[in-house]
Amino acid sequence: MLASLGGAKLNDPGFVYEPKYDGIRAIVEIEARGRNVTLWSRLGNDKTRQFPEIAGALKKWAKPLTEPVVLDGEIVALDADGEPAGFQQLQGRIHLTHADVDQPTGRVALIAFDLLKKGSVDFRSRPLLERRGALEKLFGRTGSEVLRLSEIAKGDGRPLHDRALASGWEGLIAKLATSKYVSGKRTPDWRKLKIVQEQEFVVGGCT
Protein backbone atom coordinates (compact mmCIF):
# COMPACT_ATOMS: atom_id res chain seq x y z
CA MET A 1 0.00 0.00 0.00
CA LEU A 2 1.43 3.35 -1.06
CA ALA A 3 0.69 6.91 0.00
CA SER A 4 -0.49 9.62 -2.38
CA LEU A 5 0.75 13.17 -2.56
CA GLY A 6 -1.95 15.35 -1.15
CA GLY A 7 -2.87 17.63 1.65
CA ALA A 8 -4.34 16.64 4.98
CA LYS A 9 -5.04 18.65 8.10
CA LEU A 10 -2.51 18.22 10.89
CA ASN A 11 -5.34 18.15 13.42
CA ASP A 12 -8.04 15.67 12.38
CA PRO A 13 -9.59 12.97 14.59
CA GLY A 14 -10.07 10.79 11.53
CA PHE A 15 -6.33 10.48 10.87
CA VAL A 16 -3.20 9.16 12.52
CA TYR A 17 0.23 10.60 11.78
CA GLU A 18 3.62 8.93 11.47
CA PRO A 19 7.10 10.15 10.50
CA LYS A 20 7.97 9.62 6.85
CA TYR A 21 11.07 7.48 7.29
CA ASP A 22 13.73 7.90 4.62
CA GLY A 23 14.82 4.35 3.93
CA ILE A 24 13.87 1.19 2.04
CA ARG A 25 10.27 0.00 2.22
CA ALA A 26 10.17 -3.66 3.20
CA ILE A 27 7.57 -6.40 3.38
CA VAL A 28 8.83 -8.87 6.00
CA GLU A 29 7.86 -12.54 5.87
CA ILE A 30 8.66 -14.50 9.04
CA GLU A 31 8.09 -18.22 9.36
CA ALA A 32 6.95 -19.83 12.62
CA ARG A 33 9.76 -20.31 15.15
CA GLY A 34 11.86 -17.93 13.07
CA ARG A 35 12.94 -20.75 10.78
CA ASN A 36 13.26 -18.33 7.88
CA VAL A 37 13.01 -14.57 7.36
CA THR A 38 12.76 -12.74 4.04
CA LEU A 39 12.90 -8.98 3.48
CA TRP A 40 11.22 -7.94 0.23
CA SER A 41 11.57 -4.50 -1.31
CA ARG A 42 8.59 -2.66 -2.78
CA LEU A 43 9.66 -3.89 -6.23
CA GLY A 44 9.82 -7.50 -5.08
CA ASN A 45 13.61 -7.75 -4.68
CA ASP A 46 15.04 -9.92 -1.91
CA LYS A 47 16.96 -7.62 0.47
CA THR A 48 17.61 -10.16 3.23
CA ARG A 49 21.31 -10.66 2.50
CA GLN A 50 21.95 -6.91 2.55
CA PHE A 51 20.65 -6.56 6.11
CA PRO A 52 21.86 -9.64 8.01
CA GLU A 53 21.55 -8.06 11.45
CA ILE A 54 17.86 -7.33 10.85
CA ALA A 55 17.21 -10.87 9.61
CA GLY A 56 19.12 -12.27 12.58
CA ALA A 57 17.22 -10.13 15.08
CA LEU A 58 13.91 -11.18 13.54
CA LYS A 59 14.83 -14.87 13.70
CA LYS A 60 15.72 -14.52 17.37
CA TRP A 61 12.55 -12.56 18.15
CA ALA A 62 10.36 -15.04 16.26
CA LYS A 63 11.57 -18.20 18.04
CA PRO A 64 8.51 -18.30 20.37
CA LEU A 65 6.06 -17.72 17.48
CA THR A 66 3.89 -20.70 16.61
CA GLU A 67 2.60 -19.20 13.36
CA PRO A 68 4.00 -17.12 10.48
CA VAL A 69 3.78 -13.32 10.37
CA VAL A 70 3.90 -10.72 7.61
CA LEU A 71 4.82 -7.13 8.48
CA ASP A 72 5.18 -3.88 6.55
CA GLY A 73 7.87 -1.43 7.53
CA GLU A 74 10.92 0.62 6.61
CA ILE A 75 14.59 -0.29 6.78
CA VAL A 76 16.49 2.78 7.94
CA ALA A 77 20.06 3.76 8.68
CA LEU A 78 20.83 4.97 12.21
CA ASP A 79 22.97 7.93 13.16
CA ALA A 80 25.45 8.06 16.05
CA ASP A 81 22.58 8.67 18.50
CA GLY A 82 20.60 5.69 17.24
CA GLU A 83 18.05 7.87 15.45
CA PRO A 84 16.83 7.24 11.87
CA ALA A 85 19.13 8.91 9.34
CA GLY A 86 18.83 9.71 5.63
CA PHE A 87 18.67 7.23 2.79
CA GLN A 88 22.21 8.08 1.66
CA GLN A 89 23.51 6.30 4.75
CA LEU A 90 22.16 3.03 3.30
CA GLN A 91 24.14 3.32 0.07
CA GLY A 92 26.91 1.06 1.34
CA ARG A 93 24.41 -1.78 1.75
CA ILE A 94 23.03 -1.88 -1.75
CA HIS A 95 25.87 -3.90 -3.27
CA LEU A 96 26.83 -6.20 -0.41
CA THR A 97 28.43 -9.48 -1.46
CA HIS A 98 28.68 -12.83 0.29
CA ALA A 99 32.27 -11.92 1.15
CA ASP A 100 31.36 -8.90 3.27
CA VAL A 101 27.85 -9.77 4.43
CA ASP A 102 29.13 -10.66 7.93
CA GLN A 103 30.68 -7.20 8.33
CA PRO A 104 28.23 -4.73 6.80
CA THR A 105 28.88 -1.01 7.14
CA GLY A 106 26.69 1.27 9.25
CA ARG A 107 23.97 0.64 11.81
CA VAL A 108 20.45 -0.08 10.60
CA ALA A 109 17.02 -0.88 12.00
CA LEU A 110 13.64 -2.15 10.87
CA ILE A 111 10.77 0.15 11.82
CA ALA A 112 7.48 -1.77 11.54
CA PHE A 113 4.27 0.17 10.97
CA ASP A 114 1.70 -2.39 9.83
CA LEU A 115 0.65 -5.99 10.43
CA LEU A 116 -0.63 -7.75 7.31
CA LYS A 117 -0.95 -11.39 8.34
CA LYS A 118 -0.60 -13.50 11.47
CA GLY A 119 -1.10 -17.19 11.02
CA SER A 120 -4.33 -17.76 9.09
CA VAL A 121 -5.64 -14.27 9.93
CA ASP A 122 -5.40 -11.70 7.12
CA PHE A 123 -5.45 -8.27 8.78
CA ARG A 124 -5.49 -6.29 5.52
CA SER A 125 -9.29 -6.01 5.47
CA ARG A 126 -9.36 -4.60 9.00
CA PRO A 127 -9.21 -0.89 9.94
CA LEU A 128 -5.79 0.67 10.45
CA LEU A 129 -6.24 1.25 14.18
CA GLU A 130 -7.19 -2.38 14.70
CA ARG A 131 -4.10 -3.49 12.76
CA ARG A 132 -2.00 -1.08 14.77
CA GLY A 133 -3.30 -2.45 18.06
CA ALA A 134 -2.47 -6.00 16.99
CA LEU A 135 0.98 -4.88 15.81
CA GLU A 136 1.74 -3.20 19.14
CA LYS A 137 0.68 -6.32 21.02
CA LEU A 138 2.86 -8.51 18.80
CA PHE A 139 5.89 -6.28 18.15
CA GLY A 140 5.84 -3.73 20.95
CA ARG A 141 8.58 -5.37 23.03
CA THR A 142 11.16 -6.95 20.76
CA GLY A 143 14.12 -6.54 23.14
CA SER A 144 16.26 -5.26 20.27
CA GLU A 145 17.17 -1.74 19.13
CA VAL A 146 17.28 -3.16 15.60
CA LEU A 147 13.53 -3.95 15.68
CA ARG A 148 11.27 -0.99 16.36
CA LEU A 149 7.72 0.30 16.04
CA SER A 150 6.96 3.49 14.15
CA GLU A 151 5.97 6.53 16.13
CA ILE A 152 2.30 7.40 15.88
CA ALA A 153 0.12 10.37 16.82
CA LYS A 154 -3.65 9.93 16.82
CA GLY A 155 -5.80 12.85 15.76
CA ASP A 156 -3.21 15.60 16.22
CA GLY A 157 -0.01 15.59 14.18
CA ARG A 158 1.09 19.12 15.05
CA PRO A 159 3.70 18.20 17.71
CA LEU A 160 5.12 15.55 15.37
CA HIS A 161 5.19 18.10 12.54
CA ASP A 162 7.07 20.56 14.76
CA ARG A 163 9.68 17.87 15.46
CA ALA A 164 9.90 17.12 11.75
CA LEU A 165 10.64 20.78 11.01
CA ALA A 166 13.21 21.05 13.80
CA SER A 167 14.95 17.79 12.95
CA GLY A 168 14.97 18.04 9.17
CA TRP A 169 12.73 15.04 8.54
CA GLU A 170 11.45 14.38 5.05
CA GLY A 171 7.88 14.76 6.24
CA LEU A 172 4.91 12.91 7.74
CA ILE A 173 2.43 10.30 6.56
CA ALA A 174 -1.22 10.99 7.40
CA LYS A 175 -3.29 7.79 7.43
CA LEU A 176 -7.03 7.47 7.62
CA ALA A 177 -7.73 5.67 10.89
CA THR A 178 -10.35 3.45 9.26
CA SER A 179 -8.29 2.64 6.15
CA LYS A 180 -7.93 -0.94 5.00
CA TYR A 181 -4.63 -2.19 3.57
CA VAL A 182 -4.66 -2.51 -0.23
CA SER A 183 -1.52 -4.34 -1.34
CA GLY A 184 0.45 -2.67 -4.13
CA LYS A 185 -2.00 0.21 -4.59
CA ARG A 186 -1.50 3.94 -4.16
CA THR A 187 -4.42 5.43 -2.27
CA PRO A 188 -5.52 8.80 -0.82
CA ASP A 189 -6.27 6.98 2.44
CA TRP A 190 -2.54 7.44 3.12
CA ARG A 191 -1.11 10.88 2.31
CA LYS A 192 2.42 12.22 2.18
CA LEU A 193 2.90 15.53 3.98
CA LYS A 194 6.29 16.69 2.75
CA ILE A 195 8.35 19.23 4.65
CA VAL A 196 9.29 22.11 2.36
CA GLN A 197 11.94 24.49 3.61
CA GLU A 198 11.52 27.96 2.11
CA GLN A 199 13.53 31.16 2.26
CA GLU A 200 13.05 34.45 0.47
CA PHE A 201 15.99 35.95 -1.39
CA VAL A 202 16.55 39.12 -3.37
CA VAL A 203 18.74 38.62 -6.40
CA GLY A 204 20.21 41.65 -8.09
CA GLY A 205 22.62 42.29 -10.88
CA CYS A 206 24.08 45.03 -12.98
CA THR A 207 25.87 45.49 -16.26
Q: Which are the catalytic amino acids? A: 20
Strand partners, 73: 26, 112
How many CB atoms within 10 Å of residue 44? 8
Strands 37-41 and 24-30: antiparallel
C-alpha distances (whole Å) from 85 to each of 93, 134, 206 are 14, 27, 43
Q: Do residues 16 and 177 make contact, with C-beta atoms less than 8 angstroms apart?
A: yes
For residue 105, the SS3 value is coil
Q: State the sign of the Cα–Cα–Cα–Cα dihedral 28, 2, 178, 85.
A: positive
> Pick from 150, 151, 146, 149: which is nearest to 60 by CA?
146
For residue 87, the SS3 value is helix
User: How many residues are recorded in the chain?
Assistant: 207
